[in-house]
Structure 1
Amino acid sequence: MQYNQIPITKKQILQILESANWAPTHKRTEPWRFKVLQGKSLERLGEFLAEKFKETTTNFSEFQYNKLKENTTKASCIIAICMQRDLKESLPEWEEIASTGMAVQNMWLLCTEMNIGAYWSSPGLIKFADEFFDLAEGERCLGFFYMGNYDDSPAEGFRKSPIEDKTVWL
């Protein structure tokens, strides 16, 4: 899906983020944290990712470099998906990662309802996110949630196999 250049408003973004805030969370740790990028910060992120790729790869590709640099500016908004680990470690880390994933699911569902295109991307370069974002102690970036308005109808969803293939009844 190609995004058009119609911006997503701050009001819409706040609505989407508020939906994330209602995700299930064990012990009410509410581990999800978000960093909203629009405008020039999208360009800065693209430049950072491209330069980090150039600096760290052993198999440099000019095509991949340019793609990393330009992809961020195709979105109207990117939300960095971060997870704040409970510093007391009062519950397993996977539960906080799962809660953050459920927060993103809420965002994705609301984007769909609002006719905003969205997808989650976790590039290998995400491990360098702490060099771009100011992350708190115990916070880490899990990926980027790209969002944008679009003109065409979204493609019909599909699954590789039916739910019956993934379910055991006891």
Structure 2
Amino acid sequence: MTIEEVHQLLQNRRSVYPNQYLDKVIPDQLIRNMLENANWAPTHKFTEPWRFKVIKGEVQKKFGIFMAEKYRSLHGLESFSVAKYEKLKMNPQRAGAIIAICMQRDPRGRVPEWEEVASVAMAVQNMWLTASAYGIGAYWSSPDLLKYFHEFEPLAEGEQCIGLFYMGYANIPANKPPRGPVEDKVKWLG
């Protein structure tokens, strides 16, 4: 890969949402490749805090129903939205696959929690770039309902679910997302 191809991959990565996905299965081997690349993220003291739960097939429908019903159980008539309920129920079914993004805290507490969250985020970026290289759109969702994920799938002691990585083949638009100039965000000290 040339440096120009690296620049292009990084600059063309974008969020692609479930309502944009095509009805096309993502081969398990591609998901394995994404997860293998995630496993090479930087990790302080080699805690390797990332944990992933791949949700595919019929389980996607069950997960959507779980999310929608959990939402219904938590909201009264005043705050309940039928549109949100339907979105929570249907988005998992629209995806080619979903990966629950989890973090396992170092039981010895050798590094601050923020470093482990950052490490998991870098693992997700590796997955995202790999998905982009395969022509697969992706989106990291962090609904408040994730604090109940353990009711759907048990988690280990010290493990928490911090996101959902929705993936699907899509007709990804060629336009780049807006970014202000890097010069506005950098101060050179020397």
Verify same fold: TM over 0.5.
yes
Cα 1:64–1:16 change in 2 (3 A) is same
Matched, 1:29 2:47: yes
Question: Deviations along 1:69-126, whole A, 9 cap, x unmatched?
Answer: 1111000100000000001101101111100000000000011111011110001111
Deviation at 1:54, TM superposition (A): 0.5
TM-score, length-scaled by structure 1: 0.95
CA RMSD of aligned residues (A): 1.1
Q: 5+ unaligned residues in a row in structure 2: which ranges?
A: 1-15
Q: CA deviation at 1:155?
A: 4.2
- In structure 1, the gaps of 5 or more residues are none
Shift of 1:161: 1.6
2:177 is paired with a residue of what secondary structure? coil
Query: What is residue 71 of structure 1 aligned with on the other side?
Result: 91
For residues 104 and 174 of structure 2, the distance between their equivalents in structure 1, rounded to whole angstroms, comes to 34
The aligned residue for residue 176 of structure 2 is 157
Structure 1: 4+ residue segments shifted above 6 A = none
SS at match of 2:100: strand
**Take 1:45 and 1:162, find their aligned partners in 2: how far apart are those partners?**
40
Question: TM-score, normalized by length of structure 2?
Answer: 0.86
Q: For 2:88 and 2:133, locate their aligned partners in 1 and report how far apart those are by CA, in whole Å.
A: 29
Between Structure 1 and Structure 2, how many residues are aligned? Answer: 169
2:186 corresponds in structure 1 to 167
Q: Contact conserved, 2:107 with 2:158, CA < 8 A, in 1?
A: yes
